[in-house]
Chain A
Amino acid sequence: MLNLTSIFIISGRLETIKYFIFIISLIFLLGCPKKEKIPVLKGSETPTYGGSFVLDSISDPKSFNPVIAKETSTTMITDFLFEGLTQINPFTTDMEPRLARSWEYSPDGKIWTFHLRENVKWFDGRQFTADDVVFTYNDLYYNPDIPTSARDILTIDGKRIKVEKVDTYTVRFIMPKPFAPLLFALGMEIMPKHILEPMVKAKTFNSAWGVNTPPDKITGTGPFMISEYIPSQRVVLKRNPNYWRTDKTGNGLPYLDSIVILIVPDQNSSLLKFQAGETDMISIRGEDYAVIKPTEAKGNFTIYNTGPTFSTTFLFFNQNPKAIPQYKLRWFTNKKFRQAIAHSVDKETIINNVMAGLAFPQDSALTPASKFFYNPDIRKYEYNLDKAKSLLQEAGFKNKGGRLYDSEGHHVEFTLFTNSENNQRVNIGNIIKSDLDKLGIKVNFVPIQFNTMVTKLDATFDWEAIIIGLTGGVEPHNGRNVWHSSGQLHMWNPRQAKPVTTWEAEIDRLFEDGATELDKEKRKKIYHRWQEIAAEELPVIYTVTPAALYAVRNKFGGIKPTSLAGVIPYIEEVYLKK
């Protein structure tokens, strides 16, 4: 599931670090004359126990309940407390066992059996068993009274997966048809039945585990548990002494005693707090790199660039016949028109000036971060205004006296929205407007508030063009709500009863095939074909994807750059160097 992002809503649960994809090695920067070496961990250091790791968060958690959490400020904390049956290996991007020990499936791919770990305990000492798994899926994720976005992912053709207990440590998942993203979907947090069942019965689950719950009542299986929460100041997590994972020599994990998450008002104070030595790790925006890089040696930290992210920024036109004039609809539904616009996006300038050189051009519907499914061999749209002009001419547009007219004599003019809170998008819009001016297209560029824009996009449809961003993840199936013609976020023409165009029909088919195909290589081909169509038909015109940058103090070990999980592949393996 993709999420609309703004500075307020920094996407949902799927952006959390564990879902990122690993990129083995990427050239540090495009257009950067200096090449950076990726720091290598010294092999001889032996991990020690103790110490605390200080992070920050731009906003307070809204609850400690991962089932209904929508915002990263909540999931960044619950990720330390709860675990799923599976997780993505941040190095290989394969699914690996977490609370499940192993699994097998029937030849037709419909029945999956999971064997659970027998040494997992809840924070209160109760044993983790198959009952918890069955309860979590049947009574929480599939409970229609609980508003959770997980249900969409777990629903196949409108039908739910049957989850049953086989014995204390075995669970069976029975599906109506083969479902390739299953292992990915089972990364969702498992919750304790013995604590939450009474709340579900009393119908109070939706308000359970709010921010004023006493910390010791919040019970998970993860490496850390909540120790204290002071609103607007900090969340302190302490080590779970009974955590099931051990290191190679059999010592219990995690190494760290505590994790402190400071609540800061904005990204500027986040940066200043790191520079003042109050926090140990931050994620850096490209524009802040120039500020922080010169203090690297003095502040005793290292900046890691983990390559492209899943975050996208794109321009798209309204192709919904309901709310815009017919002649404008004819421009926007004209493929050549959209391709001409794509050729007038100066990605190099956007990277160098707006993203401070720390971003990558994007042409495909998946960013290069989705390494396995990413298709690099698609139609690319380099910045070329002459090409744009000839495409417009082919599409029947004429330039008279510096102004572009369509074949019926309408002056080509449209309103371009973006959310004014996001400076990067406003600046990108500025650059695009200035280039379209050169083509004779009049762009009324209006930055508006995010909520106003979402209302237009989602309810009133009275918009012509929008610049917005989405974040994705490793699993292409999660783009279904954007790319399937019936999708809620099929933004250019949402919730179609039947696909309007032949290419939308083909994308619908590809997403259905991709979800049921269990062979990895065949799935890859399916999603490659989708990216080809998307790049040819251009319902959305991509711009750039930022590089992920992290700064971590050198006193910590267990730090390894991965594009999937930032620089911390496994938090329980982070330790303080002595």
Chain B
Amino acid sequence: MRIELNRKESLLRQAISGLRHHRWGWIALWFILFLLLATIFAGFLSPYDPYEQNRTKSYHPPVRIHLIDEDGLHWPFIYNYYLVDPIFKRYEPDRTKKYNIGLFVKDSTYHLFGLIPCNIHLFGVDSPARVFLLGSDLHGRDILSRLLYGGRVSLSISLVGVFLSFILGLIMGGIAGYFGGWVDNFLMRFGEIIMSIPGIYLLLGLRAIFPTSLSSVEIYLLIVVVLSFIGWAGLARVIRGMVLSIKEREFVQAARAIGSGHMRIIIRHVLPNTLSYTIIALTLSVPGFIISESALSFLSLGIQEPYPSWGNMLTAAQSVRVLTTAPWILIPGLFISITIICFNFLGDGLRDALDPRFKE
């Protein structure tokens, strides 16, 4: 028991110290942690409710924050913009009144951690001005707020999907490799059947039978669960291969000799030894889920308006008009790319840190 604990600690320590030497992996780790925190505190960090439509501020460009007025240096302030041309969406600032950017201002109510009702936002301005740091979309909704809330959906669902398919893959692969024989044969063939299911068509079918009273976020969560159930087979194969060799090692035989049960041996002794591989594979498969979220939202299988997600926010940037006249709609795409790159860097760094072949 004690030996196991030490091993786990050392794995974490190993990972951290290894990552420190891998500069990009280290930066990526911090960025991902920052992003996760930001989405957890989305309500507090975002200035507005992500569903609030400012109907006279459609496709509002990012506001300019002014630091200098006619008297010199000034507390950061913005001007209120009003629409002068509804076709070309041209906005002009009203320079007669300055709106100071306030800190810890009261605005729409949100629920901190989903529980505590709260209406304090990190920053904001007085109405009717709107501090659209990243501009607004067609309905005049704040892109920054939607980005934070959308990140919550995109990231959390990706993590759920990854963990589900890894738990399944580990258990299936572990059992198959450990017991061998007909169990192995059965599980692996079963996995191959699962792998041969065409996912997109399965999802198209499932989407049609899900009850329509569920919100699209709930439906997407169900879809992710389904995706995980058909996505474990690839990992299970690799784990099985690793387990086949690990089960012959002395410590496994020792555990067997002192009479440990099969499940105990698999979970306590065999699988932890595949951990270095699993962690890397896990990190590297998060981007896959983020990308499939955007792809599925694009095919209207994913999260649907008005719920924000990075994928469906990017879907709004499909037309020439948006690309040429409101390029800030593309910002979610930037976030998807950066997040994916970060997960890849992190996975890379972890591999360098944990893979024994890189140690020398």
Name A's B-contacting residues (CB within 8 A): 29, 31-34, 268, 271-272, 287-291, 293, 346, 349, 352-354, 356-358, 415, 417, 420-421, 423, 426-427, 429-431, 433-434, 444-449, 452
Residues of A close to B88: CB separation below 8 A: 290, 293
Q: Are A290 and B305 neighbours in the complex by a CB distance under 8 Å?
A: no
Cβ of B213 under 8 Å from chain A: yes
> A272–B304 Cα gap in the complex (Å)?
28
Q: Is the beta-carbon distance between A268 and B306 smaller than 8 angstroms?
A: no
A445 touches B305 (CB 8 A): yes
Name the CB-closest residue of A to B58: A353
Report the minimal beta-carbon distance from A118 to chain B, rounded to whole angstroms: 51
What per-residue 1/0 map shows which CB atoms of B83-94 lie under 8 Å from chain A?
Answer: 011111100000
A291 touches B305 (CB 8 A): no
Assembly CA distance A219 to B208 (angstroms): 45
A-B contacts besides A290-B325, A346-B55, A444-B213, 5 pairs, CB < 8 Å? A268-B318, A271-B320, A290-B88, A290-B89, A448-B212
Once A349-B55, A431-B53 are accepted as A-B contacts, the answer to whether A447 and B324 lie under 8 Å apart by CB is no
Q: Which residues of B contact A417 (CB under 8 A)?
A: 212
Say yes or no: A353 contacts B51, CB within 8 Å: no
Chain B residues within an 8 Å CB radius of A346: 55
| 13 CB < 8 A contacts A-B | A268-B319, A288-B319, A288-B320, A288-B321, A290-B89, A352-B86, A353-B58, A357-B86, A430-B305, A434-B51, A434-B306, A444-B215, A449-B300
Asked if A427 meets B320 with Cβ closer than 8 Å, knowing A32-B86, A352-B86, A444-B215, the reply is no
| A36-B336 Cα distance, complex, nearest whole Å | 42
**A290-B321, A290-B325, A431-B139 in contact; A446/B86 too (CB < 8 A)?**
no
Distance from B153 Cβ to chain A, minimum over Cβ atoms (Å): 16
Q: Does B138 sit within 8 A of A, measured CB to CB?
A: yes
Residue-wise, chain B 317-350 has the 8 Å CB interface mask toward A (1 for contact) of: 0111100110000000000000000000000000
B321 pairs with A287, CB closer than 8 A: yes
Cα–Cα distance between A309 and B324 once the two chains are bound (Å): 27
* C-alpha gap A263/B304 in the complex (Å): 31
Asked if residues B87 and A29 are in contact (CB atoms below 8 Å), the reply is yes
Give bound CA distance, A358 to B58, whole Å.
15
Could you tell me if B212 and A415 are in contact, using CB atoms closer than 8 angstroms? Answer: yes
Check A268 against B87 for contact (C-beta < 8 Å): no
Inside 8 A of A289's CB, which chain B residues have their CB? Answer: 87
List of B residues within 8 angstroms of A291 by Cβ: 320-321, 324-325
Chain B contact surface mostly: loop
Is B140's CB within 8 Å of the partner chain A? yes
Q: Does B156 contact A (CB under 8 A)?
A: no
Contact status B212-A287, CB under 8 Å: no
- Centre residue among B58, B85, B86, B140 by max chain A CB count within 10 A: B86
With the chains together, A114 CA to B226 CA distance in Å? 66
B325 cross-chain contacts in A, Cβ below 8 A: 290-291
The answer to whether A434 touches B319 (Cβ under 8 A) is no
Q: Report the minimum CB–CB distance from A350 to chain B (whole Å).
A: 10
Q: For residue A463, which residue of chain B has the nearest CB?
A: B212
Q: Contact size class for B? A: 20 to 34
Please count the residue pairs between chain A and chain B whose beta carbons lie under 8 angstroms apart in the complex: 91
Q: Roughly how many angstroms separate A446 CA and B86 CA in the complex, as a whole number?
A: 28
Q: How far is A289 from B321 in the complex, measured between Cα atoms in Å? A: 8
Contact between A445 and B321, CB atoms less than 8 A apart: no
Residues of A within 8 A of B208 (CB): 448-449, 452
B300 touches A447 (CB 8 A): yes
Residues on A with C-beta less than 8 A from B59 are 353
Asked if B276 is at the interface of the complex by the 8 Å CB criterion, the answer is: no
Contacts of A415 in B (CB 8 A): 212-213
Are A434 and B53 neighbours in the complex by a CB distance under 8 Å?
Answer: yes
B306 interface neighbour in A272, A420, A433, Cβ under 8 Å: A433
The 8 Å CB contact of A356, one of B55, B87, B216, is B87
Contact A447 B212 (CB under 8 A): no
Q: How far is the CB of A268 from chain B (nearest CB, A)?
A: 5
A433 neighbours in B (Cβ, 8 Å): 306
Question: How many whole Å from B184's CB to the nearest CB in chain A?
Answer: 42
Given contacts A287-B321, A290-B321, contact A445 B84 (CB under 8 A): no
Which residue of A272, A290, A426, A449 is within 8 Å of B87 (Cβ)?
A290
Nearest-CB residue, chain B, relative to A350:
B55
Which A-B residue pairs are the 3 nearest by beta carbons? A420-B300, A353-B58, A357-B86
- Kindly report which residue of chain A lies nearest to residue B51, judged by CB atoms: A434
A434, B320: Cα distance in complex, Å: 27
Q: Within residues 18 to 66 of chain B, which ones have a CB less than 8 A from any CB in chain A?
A: 51, 53, 55, 58-59
A426 proximity list for chain B (CB < 8 A): 304-305
Nearest B residue to A456 via CB reads B212
Q: Is the CB of A446 within 8 A of B212?
A: yes
Are A421 and B84 interface neighbours, CB within 8 A?
A: no
Q: Which residue of A lies closest to B306 (CB)?
A: A430
List, in ascending order, chain B residues with CB within 8 A of A290's CB. Answer: 87-89, 321, 325
Bound-state CA distance A417–B208 (Å) is 13
Query: Which residues of B have CB within 8 Å of A356?
Result: 86-87, 321
Q: How far is the CB of B314 from chain A (nearest CB, A)?
A: 13
B87 touches A445 (CB 8 A): no
B58 shortest CB reach to chain A, Å: 4
Asked whether A444 and B212 contact (CB < 8 A) given A288-B320, A290-B321, the answer is yes
How far apart are B25's CB and chain A's nearest CB, in angstroms? 39
Give Cα A9 to B52, complex, Å: 34
Given A271-B320, A353-B140, A415-B212, are A447 and B305 neighbors across the interface (CB < 8 Å)?
Answer: yes
Give the distance in Å from the alpha carbon of A446 to the alpha carbon of B212 in the complex.
7
CB < 8 Å neighbour of B304 from A293, A431, A434, A447: A447
Task: Name the A residues within 8 Å of B212 (CB-CB).
Answer: 415, 417, 444, 446, 448
Q: Chain B CB within 10 Å — which of A346, A353, A448 has the most?
A: A353
Q: With a CB–CB cut-off of 8 A, which chain B residues contact A446?
A: 212, 216, 304
User: In the complex, what's the smallest C-beta–C-beta distance from A573 to chain B, in angstroms?
Assistant: 32
In the assembled complex, the Cα of A97 lies from the Cα of B160 at a distance in Å of: 69
Q: How far is the CA of A60 from the CA of B152 in the complex (A)?
A: 42
**Chain A residue at minimal CB-CB distance from B219:** A446
A289→B86 CA distance, assembly (Å): 11
Contact A427 B87 (CB under 8 A): no
Q: Give the residue name and chain of the B residue nearest to A269 (CB).
A: B320
In the bound complex, CA of A430 to CA of B312 (Å) = 14
